[in-house]
Structure 1
Amino acid sequence: MTTTPRRVAVKVPATTANLGPGFDTLGLALSVYDELDVQVRDEPGAHVTVHGVGAGEVPTDESNLVVSSMAYTFEAMGRRMPGVNVTARNTIPHGRGLGSSGAAVVSGIMAAKGLLQGDVEIDADTLLRIATDLEGHPDNVAPALFGGLTIAWLTTSGPKQKRLIVHRGVAPLVFVPQFTMSTKLARSLQPASVPHEDAIFNVSRSALLIAALTQSPELMLAATEDKLHQNYRAAAMPETAKLVTLLRNAGYAAVVSGAGPSILVLADGPGQRLAAAELVATQADTPWQAMMLAVDFKGATVTPVDDDERLAPESR
C-alpha cells in the first residue's frame, strides 16, 4: 500500500523577469534559494517559522503565502489539506525584483505536490497553471518551477512555457539596493498602449535576446534594449534608472530586474562581470550589494524526508 509522505523538503530559486525587452514573457532562474521543511501534524491549521529574509515580517499562520498556495493546490486537486508545521529558510530578497512572491507561491505548490505523492500526481502543466492562477502571470513562476531561461505565454487552454539552456558564457550579476519597490506600483506606471514603433523595437530585441542568451553572448548589450516598461517606471526608482544608464553607457548589458529596484547585468564572461562590479563599487551614489550568481538549471525541487530525516532522491 502506497503511503503519502508526512514530511518534505522544498528548494526554490530566485528569478529575474523581463530581462529588458521580454516584458511579461522572459524569465531566468538564479542561484539564490528559499528552502522549506514542511511536516504534517495531527492538529488542523498551520504554523510557520521563518529564518532569514522576512523573519518577523511575514505572517506565520494560514495567511502566509506559502501556506495559502499549498491550500489552494490541495483544493485544486480535490483533497483536504492537513495541518502543517512549516520552517522557512529564506535568502531571496523581498520587494527587490527577484521573484520572492513567485518563489513563495511555487514553494507552497511544490510542498503540496510532495505531500500528495502517492495519492495524486501533479504534472508540469498543472504546476504552471496553478502557479499562474496564484501569481497572475507566468514570467516569474515558470523559471522558478523549471529552471534555466523560460519563455512563457498564455493561451485559451492555459499558460505554456518553453525552457532553454543558457550559454555557459553568460555570467549574471545582480545589484540589490537597500530600498524596495512595489510590483503593484511599478505595473501601475505602464501605459495602456504603446507606439507601434516601440512594439516593433521590442519584438526585434526579444528575438535577438534569445539568440544572445543561448548562442551569442557578445550580442547582449544590443539585445537588452527596451522601450516598453523601464523608461515608464524610471521616475519611481531614480537610483535604479541612474545606475542602469551608467552601466549601459559603459558597455554593460544592464536592465531592471523584474519590477525593480534591483539591477541585472548579463555579462558575457567572468571578467566583464568583475569589471561591472568594480564600476558600481567606485562610481555609484548609493549602496548596492553585488551578487555574482549562476543560472539555476534545476528549478524547484521537493524531496520526501523519512523518519530518520535522511533525504530521499529529489523529484519534480
Structure 2
Amino acid sequence: MGLTFVPDPVAVRTPATSANLGPGFDSLGLALTLYDDLTARVTGDGFRVTVVGQGAGELPEDAEHLVIRAMLATFDELGERPPGLHVECVNRIPQARGLGSSSAAIVGGVQLARALVVGGTELIDDAAALRIAARMEGHPDNVAPCLLGGFTVAWTEGSGARAVRLLPAEGVRPTVFVPSERGYTASARAALPSEVPHRDAAFNAGRAALLTHALTSDPSMLFPATEDRLHQAYRSAGMPGTASLVAALRSVGVAAVVSGAGPTVLALSEVPGDFHPGAEWRGEVLGVDADGAVVKGGMVEHAERGPVAAGRTS
C-alpha cells in the first residue's frame, strides 16, 4: 500500500545554527533566531525550486537543490517518491558563512517530506529524522540544533547520529559578526591535522564539559569555557580576519569563537558597546531559538523527545 500525500502546501521555518562553540568540535551546537522559510507541495511532475534572498540566482532550481535532495532522501526512507515537488525558499541565513545554511536546507527538506505524508511523523520520528539529516550533512553538530532547537550535544554511534537538547541559561544572547567573504567547510577541514597532542585533546575535553555547564547554568564561566586547542588555531592561516577578530574580542573579555568552520565569529557573552569590529564585519545580536525546525501545516508536530532519540532536558 502506497503513501498518501497531503493535498495542501506545508511550510517549515529552520533556524541558523553555530557549531563547535570553541571546544565542542563536531559535537556542540546552538540554534539561533535567524531563519529560512521553506514551503513545499506535491505536484504532478518534475522538481522545481524558487529561491528568494540569500543564494538567489546561485543555487540550483531543480532536483539538485539541497532541500529537494533531502526531501527525496526522506521519501526514499518512506519507500515512495511523489511525482513532482515545488519548493519555495525564502533564505535569510547567509550562505557559506559558518551559520548552518546547508543544515537548514537539509533539515528543512526532511521536515517538509515528513509533513507531506499522512502519518509521516509515525513513519519517521525525530530520531530517524536526525539520522537522515546527519547522514547527508556528514556530521550532526549543526543539524541537531537546527532540528531540535536550543543547545545540543550530538554524537554518532552504530545506529547513526543521536543528540540531546539542553536549555541555555537566561541571559545567553549570542552576537554574530558576519563578513562579506565566504568560507567552505571542506577547505577548513583540510587544514586540520590528522593527529593532535594528547594534552590538547584533554584540554578540550575539560573545556567542552565546562562549556555545557556555562551555557546551561553559569554564563560567567563562558570565557574560559570557550578556549579551544583542536581546530581554530589550525584554521587561522586560511581565515586571518576571523582569527584576528576572535583574538580582539577575547582581549577585551568576550567569549568569542569561530562559528562552525567560519568565517563568521560568534560571541557568547556581552560585547562592549565601544567595540568596533571593522567595516568588513556586520554584527547582529540574536537570541537562542528554542523550537528548532517547526512545520506549519501538514502532519508534523514534534513528539515529546526522550533521550534515546533527541532528548530534551531542562
How far residue 278 of structure 1 moved from its aligned partner, in angstroms, is: 3.5
How far residue 4 of structure 1 moved from its aligned partner, in angstroms, is: 3.7
How far residue 121 of structure 1 moved from its aligned partner, in angstroms, is: 2.9
Is contact 2:174–2:267 with CA below 8 Å preserved after alignment?
yes
Distance (Å, rounded) in 2 between the aligned partners of 1:169 and 1:303: 29
Distance (Å, rounded) in 1 between the aligned partners of 2:15 and 2:216: 20
Question: Which aligned runs of 4 or more in structure 1 are off by greater than 6 angstroms?
Answer: none
Is contact 1:153–1:160 with CA below 8 Å preserved after alignment?
yes
Does residue 294 of structure 2 align to residue 301 of structure 1?
A: yes
Is contact 1:149–1:164 with CA below 8 Å preserved after alignment?
yes
Is contact 1:20–1:224 with CA below 8 Å preserved after alignment?
yes
Partner of 2:226: 224
The one-letter amino acid of 1:8's match is V
How far residue 243 of structure 1 moved from its aligned partner, in angstroms, is: 0.7
The one-letter amino acid of 2:86's match is N
Is contact 2:93–2:101 with CA below 8 Å preserved after alignment?
yes
Q: 1:315 aligns with which of 295, 298, 301?
A: 301
Q: 1:292 aligns with which of 279, 285, 290?
A: 285
Distance (Å, rounded) in 1 between the aligned partners of 2:132 and 2:259: 24
After superposition, give the CA deviation of every residue in 1:203-234 in whole Å (9 maximum; x if it has no partner). 01001000100000000000000000000000
Does residue 22 of structure 2 align to residue 20 of structure 1?
A: yes
Q: Percent identity?
A: 50
Partner of 1:173: 175
Is contact 1:230–1:256 with CA below 8 Å preserved after alignment?
yes
Distance (Å, rounded) in 2 between the aligned partners of 1:26 and 1:14: 14
| Superposed counterparts of 1:37-116, under 5 Å | 37-42=39-44, 44-116=45-117
Distance (Å, rounded) in 2 between the aligned partners of 1:314 and 1:108: 13
- RMSD, aligned α-carbons: 1.5
Distance (Å, rounded) in 1 between the aligned partners of 2:261 and 2:151: 18
How far residue 68 of structure 1 moved from its aligned partner, in angstroms, is: 0.8
Taking structure 2 as the reference length, the TM-score comes to 0.92
How far residue 314 of structure 1 moved from its aligned partner, in angstroms, is: 6.8
Moved more, 284-293 or 221-230: 284-293
Partner of 2:312: none
How far residue 117 of structure 1 moved from its aligned partner, in angstroms, is: 2.8
The one-letter amino acid of 2:240's match is P
Distance (Å, rounded) in 1 between the aligned partners of 2:140 and 2:258: 18
Does residue 221 of structure 2 align to residue 235 of structure 1?
A: no
Q: Extract unaligned runs of 5+ from structure 1.
A: 306-312
How far residue 285 of structure 1 moved from its aligned partner, in angstroms, is: 4.3
Partner of 1:117: 118
After superposition, give the CA deviation of every residue in 1:60-106 in whole Å (9 maximum; x if it has no partner). 00110100110111001111233111111000000100000111111
Distance (Å, rounded) in 2 between the aligned partners of 1:71 and 1:232: 36
How far residue 286 of structure 1 moved from its aligned partner, in angstroms, is: 4.5
Is contact 2:176–2:283 with CA below 8 Å preserved after alignment?
yes
Moved more, 111-120 or 93-102: 111-120
How far residue 289 of structure 1 moved from its aligned partner, in angstroms, is: 0.7
Distance (Å, rounded) in 1 between the aligned partners of 2:61 and 2:5: 25
Distance (Å, rounded) in 2 between the aligned partners of 1:104 and 1:71: 13
Is contact 2:71–2:109 with CA below 8 Å preserved after alignment?
yes
- Specify the SS of the correspondent of 1:171: coil
Distance (Å, rounded) in 2 between the aligned partners of 1:139 and 1:266: 17
The one-letter amino acid of 1:114's match is A
Is contact 1:75–1:81 with CA below 8 Å preserved after alignment?
no
Is contact 1:5–1:304 with CA below 8 Å preserved after alignment?
no
The one-letter amino acid of 1:72's match is A
Partner of 1:211: 213
Distance (Å, rounded) in 1 between the aligned partners of 2:84 and 2:103: 23
Partner of 2:306: none
The number of residues matched between the two structures is 298
Partner of 1:126: 128
The one-letter amino acid of 2:21's match is L
Q: Extract unaligned runs of 5+ from structure 2.
A: 303-314
Distance (Å, rounded) in 2 between the aligned partners of 1:138 and 1:175: 23
- Specify the SS of the correspondent of 1:137: coil
The one-letter amino acid of 2:283's match is A
Partner of 2:307: none
Taking structure 1 as the reference length, the TM-score comes to 0.91
- Specify the SS of the correspondent of 2:88: strand
